Structure 1
Amino acid sequence: MNKLIDLQLFAAETNITTTSDLEPAISVDFTSQIAENIDELRKVLGISTLEPMATGTLIKSYKMTKENTPDQVGEGETIGLTKITRKLAWQKEITLKKFRKVATAEAIQKIGKQKAINDTDSKMVSELQKDIKKDFFASLATGTGTAKGTGLQAALANGWGAMEVRFEDLTFDPVFFISPLDVATYLGSAQITTQNAFGFQYIEGFLGLGTAILSPQLAQGTAYGTAKQNLRGAYIPNGGDVASSFGLTFDTTGLIGMTHSPITSNATIETLLMSGVQFWPEYADGVFKITINAASASTGA
């Protein structure tokens, strides 16, 4: 009887909030949402799969160049060789991005867990998405192809024509990246139906040319176009030793790793988020910077 009483003295109090009550629920929800958003973007970009890579792996973009144009020869004469080279345009390391924040006990008590933890987590996730998009647009800006036209429709049409020449031996799906300001200028008050993926708005079959992805990160007057088949995606897996070392919750792919930890020394809840997702064009010469020239007053009339 005495032993039973001793055990009861050391038993955990009822209704204690433990780490398991807090962590997997919040982390699983966020990792699932982010992974789904990234997967939606992958599909919109036409990328069949994301390749797992170790941190520090070099991702590379190339340029195909025809070095010469041999003269045509007569019947029975030796045909001159056409030399095609594949040169490195740029390379960069794929790196693991890490984000951390804390919510204090006072903040949780004052405004509740939803605002103090979940809402601020959402903001941190949006910053992660911005970083992924920023890196992607920076890689598009390294494209060496060019096209231009007066007004949005003519400029994109000329970009489409340039892609037809570059990818003449490939059945490809064009994708354009455009500032919403250019679309608004072109459409005026006309209503359009857009879809959303990873914070992007996109339009399928825009102007009959291909998929248009809209982003305010792009400067008005400049768009980019390429073939979906020219785009690649990779990520640093957040499972395995990384997950076990830091107690990360991750989806089946390991695209995103996240954990929430109570820090008793300062009465805070810490959020740790890790991701190494990267999108880029395989061939820089397959990306066209499209300049949208404004129509003159007389042309507009």
Structure 2
Amino acid sequence: MKRKNIDLQLFAAPDNMTGTEQIMVRAREIDFVTSFGKNLQSLLDVMGITRMIRKENGSLLKTKKAKGVLQSGNVGEGEEIPLSQYEVSEEILDTIKIEKYRKAVSLEAIAEYGYEAAVQMTDDEFKSDLISLVTDKFYAQLKKGSLSGHEPTWQMAVAMAIGKVKDKFKKMKRTATGIAVWVNTLDVYKYVGAADITLQTAFGMEYVKGFLGADVVFISSEIPENVVIATPLNNLIAYYVDPADSEFIKAGLSYTTDSETGFVGFHIQGNYERAISDMFAIMGLRLFCEYLDGIAYISVGGADTQTLGSLTANTAKGESEGTNAVTLDSTLLGIGNSYKVKVNSAATPVTYGMDVKNWTKWDGKSEITVTTGNHITIVECDRNFKAVASVDVVAK
């Protein structure tokens, strides 16, 4: 009996067939981008942001400042009505662009914990880090709010923060659709004491609605203690660069995105050279305040309730004639603080909360022009130019 030669290639799996492994990876990518998108969308809903605004990669992000005075409406019959002039100036704050991130889970981690556990641990950590990148930039802008103030108590600071942003929007001929407030976690619990408050979480931000006179209060350790920040909800905008841009695909860089949101692109592939499972994410996301002077930044405390801190400094003759080089051994005590200096024949008295706005700004390293024997008084002040710490040295 003659045997027939059978071509086993006829029964081999066709090239590029989607198998179990590809389905598992694809499902993991879809789960990542979907959960990320839903998480961010929940925060946008809380903030009253109805949609993300698409931006081209590399677009400039500009904040606005509105100036103007409402003229008197007490006009006699037949008299000309005075014109109230308002102007809006723009300032470039940053650039929004696609940013690229990569993380990996090793073969050893999979062997030790199992595929499901190792993958879940790594994906969750990666997602958390990406969320923090977005919120950190947002907090940084909130801390630049130009409606500054200083109040003796925390409760008064909350009330004045809300009042200031409402007043500002009214002067801009805009109606605040609601107010969002950001406060420090410890400050809230000092205020409520043993009382229970129910916090919800969206995109890494804890919040409570209808609290302290605000529509929504965000509670975070990213906000310094004894600081209250507020802005109208309709001052909040969200921008994104589309990670599913067709130009990327043409270049062979195809990322899985959520068809409903499109906030982040995610891709997984094996790296045999290093025996790791590589994860790649691209995104260009920004939570943004349109008007910088629509953000209130109110600090708490006064000379009667807090003590002036102490700085430590050393001085030496500078390289230039008639200057001194001053070296501070201590660092800034608070986020957003800065240095001010005053040169005088005697030490300048400083008290906590003292206004040093008109003192000379100092970057903490430049040589200071001074006559030998005169005093250099250095103050660390908060963003409202209130003294929080000081030191006095004699020039050499």
Aligned mates of 1:185, 1:136 — CA distance in 2: 25
**Residues 1:290 and 1:18: Cα distance change in structure 2 (over 3 Å):** same
Shift of 1:240: 3.4
User: Structure 1 residue aligned with 2:295, among 281, 287, 300?
Assistant: 287
Runs ≥4 residues deviating over 6 A: none
Aligned mates of 1:76, 1:236 — CA distance in 2: 54
Structure 2: which 5+ runs fail to align? 307-396
Residues 92-101 or 105-114, more deviating: 105-114
Structure showing greater radius of gyration is 2
Shift of 1:29: 0.8
Name the structure with the higher helix share.
1
What is the identity, as a one-letter code, of the residue corresponding to 2:214? L
Aligned mates of 1:48, 1:97 — CA distance in 2: 24
TM-score by length of 2: 0.68
The answer (yes or no) to whether the contact 1:231–1:280 under 8 Å persists in 2 is yes
User: Structure 1 residue aligned with 2:268, among 260, 284, 293?
Assistant: 260
Shift of 1:150: 3.2
Structure 1: which 5+ runs fail to align? none
What's the counterpart of residue 375 of structure 2? none
Aligned mates of 2:42, 2:76 — CA distance in 1: 54
**Equivalent runs, 1:5-20 vs 2, <5 Å:** 5-8=8-11, 10-11=12-13, 19-20=21-22
What's the counterpart of residue 249 of structure 1? 256
Residues 60-69 or 47-56, more deviating: 60-69
Aligned mates of 1:100, 1:93 — CA distance in 2: 21
What's the counterpart of residue 209 of structure 1? 214
Aligned mates of 2:294, 2:54 — CA distance in 1: 24
The answer (yes or no) to whether the contact 1:206–1:212 under 8 Å persists in 2 is yes
What's the counterpart of residue 193 of structure 2? 188
What is the identity, as a one-letter code, of the residue corresponding to 1:96? I
What's the counterpart of residue 106 of structure 2? 104
Shift of 1:4: 4.3
Aligned mates of 2:195, 2:231 — CA distance in 1: 26
Considering Cα pairs closer than 8 Å and 6+ residues apart, tell me whether 1 or 2 has the greater RCO. 1
What is the identity, as a one-letter code, of the residue corresponding to 2:209? E
The answer (yes or no) to whether the contact 2:178–2:214 under 8 Å persists in 1 is no
Deviations 1:24-71 (A, max 9, x none): 111111111100011011111111110111110112110000168579
What's the counterpart of residue 269 of structure 1? 277
Shift of 1:149: 2.9
Residues 180-189 or 160-169, more deviating: 160-169
The answer (yes or no) to whether the contact 1:99–1:272 under 8 Å persists in 2 is yes
**Equivalent runs, 1:1-301 vs 2, <5 Å:** 1-8=4-11, 10-11=12-13, 19-66=21-68, 74-168=76-170, 169=173, 170-241=175-246, 242=248, 245-252=252-259, 253-293=261-301, 296=305
Aligned mates of 1:61, 1:286 — CA distance in 2: 10
The answer (yes or no) to whether the contact 1:147–1:162 under 8 Å persists in 2 is no
Shift of 1:243: 5.2
TM-score by length of 1: 0.88
**Residues 1:285 and 1:110: Cα distance change in structure 2 (over 3 Å):** same
Q: Secondary structure, in 3 states, of the residue corresponding to 1:93?
A: strand
Residues 280-289 or 80-89, more deviating: 80-89
